[in-house]
């Protein structure tokens, strides 16, 4: 995985694109949470779940099916009243995309196993052909020289693109104020 913070940062940039108006805090907290959620499967290591099993790390929780489920639950039930300008379907689609952004970013990392995008129907693990992001060590090993290398690689390959997306969106909205209403 890129570190969970990087998942949240990237997702916030996507949120900025998707939501033209200021959004309630709940929207952003859920954005960060959904982006980090797939890595709950790392708990499995403590219980001896094999990495390559369906319930192992980057297994079921890194699938399209999981993203759809999370998107649906959040879209339908997390907001008493959807934020202005949003319907339930839009919210569902958005939180599906945000959750899915996690395994897609993972698929750009250069280590570990790939993501089981089509779980539970297939246990096949996938990577993109191009994998520039240094894979993050799991757990406490993060606080090490290796951890710093990972952070550097994530700043270049995740934070910077996120910042560019954010700035491009801001600039686009400024140039086309009609979109802002
Ligand atoms: Zn992950």
Place of tokens 């960060």: 32
Rounded to the nearest whole angstrom, what is the distance from the C-alpha of residue 175 to the centroid of ligand 1? Answer: 36
- Tell me the C-alpha distance between 43 and 57, whole Å: 8
Q: Above 60 in pLDDT, residue 179?
A: no
Rounded to the nearest whole angstrom, what is the distance from the C-alpha of residue 50 to the centroid of ligand 1? Answer: 15
CA distances from 56 to 5, 61, 101 (A): 21, 9, 19
Rounded to the nearest whole angstrom, what is the distance from the C-alpha of residue 26 to the centroid of ligand 1? Answer: 23
Q: Above 50 in pLDDT, residue 1?
A: no
Rounded to the nearest whole angstrom, what is the distance from the C-alpha of residue 85 to the centroid of ligand 1? Answer: 31
Q: Which of 8, 98, 118, 9 is nearest to 58 (CA)?
A: 118
Q: Above 60 in pLDDT, residue 43?
A: yes
Rounded to the nearest whole angstrom, what is the distance from the C-alpha of residue 136 to the centroid of ligand 1? Answer: 10
Each residue of 109-155: pLDDT tens digit? 998 899 999 999 999 999 999 998 888 876 655 567 777 888 888 88
CA distances from 63 to 124, 161, 181 (A): 11, 23, 36
Rounded to the nearest whole angstrom, what is the distance from the C-alpha of residue 67 to the centroid of ligand 1? Answer: 12
- Tell me the C-alpha distance between 51 and 44, whole Å: 8
Residue 103: CB partners within 8 Å, gap ≥ 6? 38, 58, 62, 63, 67, 115, 117
Q: Which of 26, 42, 23 is nearest to 34 (CA)?
A: 26
Angle at 31 between CA 144 and CA 139, to 5 degrees: 20
Rounded to the nearest whole angstrom, what is the distance from the C-alpha of residue 36 to the centroid of ligand 1? Answer: 8
Rounded to the nearest whole angstrom, what is the distance from the C-alpha of residue 103 to the centroid of ligand 1? Answer: 6
Residue 170: CB partners within 8 Å, gap ≥ 6? 16
């Amino acid at each position: 995985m890129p570190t969970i913070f990087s998942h949240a940062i990237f997702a916030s940039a996507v949120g900025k694109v998707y939501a033209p108006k200021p959004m309630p805090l709940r929207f952003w907290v859920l954005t960060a949470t959904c982006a980090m959620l797939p890595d709950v499967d790392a708990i499995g290591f403590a219980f001896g779940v094999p990495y390559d099993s369906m319930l192992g790390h980057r297994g079921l929780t890194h699938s399209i099916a999981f993203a759809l489920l999370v998107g649906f639950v959040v879209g339908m039930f997390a907001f008493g009243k959807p934020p202005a300008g949003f319907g339930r379907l839009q919210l569902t689609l958005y939180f599906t995309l945000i959750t899915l952004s996690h395994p897609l970013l993972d698929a750009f990392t250069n280590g570990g196993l790939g993501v089981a995008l089509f779980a539970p129907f297939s246990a096949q693990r996938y990577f993109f052909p191009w994998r520039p992001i240094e894979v993050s060590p799991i757990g406490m090993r993060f606080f090490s020289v290796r951890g710093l290398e990972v952070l550097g690689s994530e700043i270049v390959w995740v934070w910077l693109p996120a910042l560019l997306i954010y700035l491009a969106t801001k600039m686009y909205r400024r140039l086309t104020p009609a979109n802002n209403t």
